[in-house]
């Protein structure tokens, strides 16, 4: 019988894999030229934090197919966290976010390295873009060199390609929708492709494919993963505006300053009267936002019951995700853990 899953111990194992892998890469970079030290440091910093949910979903996709614990699989699962690190560096750059995990984002942290150079602001942003690009390349390297047989890796390669394509598509869709009239359908599509699929569904499927899972199990895991991934990002949108920066590690004004097409904003807009829409339009996208503006937007959203509607969407999708495990040929331990992961992914404060 499989041992009970220890999330803390799992995180430690993934952190060790990532720490060793990125330390070696940082050493290689600095070996090319010592001037690359700040870039190497940000490469390591970008993947230093997180609950390791994406690695966990990959790991439990493997176990859901009946495979035992494996150090090689753990390395493959850890590569999912490098995808996430790449995405956050790029996302922070696109949104010009100042904080991530309570620390300066890569494009701000790298300003010190080019402070005396012409166009320092632009140069720091360029360095951050390249850090994100390199993290994505390193994710592929860690996956390919995880130690699993080539035949196993070949089964998962098409889904890996889907993951990269759809993550980029989601980012592009968000940029294209930013500033347009908020639309719940568009917002949910952005949620699906920008975050939901690469956070839950695709890591699960990659783990299952590596394990040789049959099509019916993959269908059940895919349905679970897509519903849960959407619930995860909806929770993130709520925390982004209603969470406290000291808990979330992010700036609460980011979403309204960037006029991001979140479901929360779209549902607020949908329920608002013309005068309320006019007031909301006057605030969205302002560069001189203050805490008073944040309080105004929060109050308007609460008056229109938008946060509760998002909570209802989260609860419905989480229940739907867990129901998709019913009747699936999943070992009892994997079933319990996937149900627990559904709770951890959506019932969170940060």
Per-residue pLDDT tens digits for 112-171:
999 988 899 999 999 999 999 999 999 999 999 999 999 999 999 999 999 999 999 999
Backbone angles phi, psi at 157, to 5 degrees: -60, -45
Please give the sequence-ordered ranges of beta strands (E in DSSP) within the chain, or none if there are none. 99-100, 103-104
- What tokens were used for 278? 């006019």
Name the residue among 333, 301, 254 with its Cα closest to residue 6. 333
Average pLDDT, the chain: 92
Task: Map out the domains of the chain with their CATH numbers.
Answer: 7-346 (1.10.600.10)
Q: Is residue 240 over pLDDT 90?
A: no
DSSP 3-state of 149: coil
Q: Is residue 38 over pLDDT 70?
A: yes
Contacts of 24 (CB under 8 A, 6+ apart): none
Q: Which region holds residue 244: left if phi is over 0, alpha if psi is between -120 and 50, else beta?
A: beta
Pairwise CA distance, residues 78 & 74, whole Å: 6
Q: Is residue 259 over pLDDT 80?
A: no
- What tokens were used for 210? 């590596």
Contact (Cβ atoms closer than 8 angstroms) between residue 123 and residue 117: yes
Q: pLDDT > 70: what percent of the chain? A: 96
Tell me the whole-structure pTM to 2 decimals: 0.93
117: which DSSP letter?
A: S
pLDDT recorded at residue 327: 84
Burial 321-347 (b: 16+ CB within 10 A, else e): bbebbeebebeebbbebbeebbeebbe
Measured at the alpha carbon of residue 69, what is the angle toward residues 136 and 15, in degrees to the nearest 5? 40
pLDDT recorded at residue 241: 86
List, in sequence order, every residue forming a beta bridge with 100; answer none if it has no partner.
103
Render 230-297 in DSSP notation, one character per residue: HHHHHHHHHHHHHS-HHHHSS-TTHHHHTT---HHHHHHHHH--HHHHHHHHHHTT-SS--HHHHHHH
pLDDT recorded at residue 1: 37
Residue 247: band (very low, low, confident or very high) from pLDDT cuts 50, 70, 90: low
Q: Is residue 257 over pLDDT 80?
A: no
The residue to which tokens 């010592």 are assigned: 34
Q: Is residue 250 over pLDDT 90?
A: no
Q: Is residue 65 over pLDDT 50?
A: yes
Per-residue pLDDT reduced to its tens digit, 286-318:
778 788 888 888 999 999 999 999 999 999 999
**Among the listed ranges 90-94, 211-215, 253-257, which one has the minimum average pLDDT value?**
253-257
Residue 198: band (very low, low, confident or very high) from pLDDT cuts 50, 70, 90: very high
Contacts of 255 (CB under 8 A, 6+ apart): 237, 240, 241, 262, 264, 265
Contacts of 5 (CB under 8 A, 6+ apart): 333, 337, 340
């Amino acid at each position: 019988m499989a041992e009970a899953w220890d999330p803390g111990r799992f995180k430690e194992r993934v952190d060790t894999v990532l720490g060793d892998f990125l330390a070696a890469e940082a050493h290689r970079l600095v070996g090319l030229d010592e001037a690359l030290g700040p870039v190497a440091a940000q490469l390591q910093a970008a993947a230093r934090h997180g609950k390791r949910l994406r690695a966990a979903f990959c790991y439990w996709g493997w176990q859901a197919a009946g495979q035992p614990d494996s150090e090689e699989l753990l390395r493959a699962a850890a590569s999912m966290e490098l995808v996430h690190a790449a995405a956050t560096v790029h996302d922070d750059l696109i949104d010009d976010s100042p904080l991530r995990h309570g620390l300066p984002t890569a494009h701000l942290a790298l300003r010190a390295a080019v402070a005396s150079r012409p166009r320092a602001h632009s140069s720091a942003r360029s360095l951050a873009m390249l850090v994100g690009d390199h993290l994505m390349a390193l994710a592929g390297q860690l996956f390919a060199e995880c130690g699993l047989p080539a035949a196993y890796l070949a089964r998962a390669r098409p889904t890996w390609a889907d993951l990269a394509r759809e993550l980029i598509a989601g980012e592009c869709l968000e940029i294209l929708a930013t500033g347009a009239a908020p639309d719940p359908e568009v917002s949910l599509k952005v949620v699906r492709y920008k975050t939901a699929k690469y956070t839950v569904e695709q890591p699960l499927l990659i783990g299952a494919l590596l394990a040789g899972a049959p099509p019916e199990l993959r269908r059940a895991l895919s349905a679970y993963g897509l519903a849960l991934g959407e619930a995860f990002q909806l929770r993130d949108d709520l925390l982004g505006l209603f969470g406290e920066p000291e808990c979330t590690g992010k700036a609460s004004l980011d979403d309204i300053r960037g006029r991001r097409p979140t479901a929360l904003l779209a549902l607020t807009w949908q329920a608002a009267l013309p005068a309320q829409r006019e007031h909301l339009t006057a605030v969205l996208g302002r560069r001189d936002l203050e805490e008073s503006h944040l309080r105004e937007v929060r109050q308007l959203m609460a008056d229109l019951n938008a946060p509760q509607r998002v909570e209802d969407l989260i609860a419905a999708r989480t229940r739907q995700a867990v129901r998709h495990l019913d009747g699936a040929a999943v070992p009892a331990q994997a079933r319990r853990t996937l149900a627990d992961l559904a709770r951890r992914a959506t019932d969170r404060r940060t």
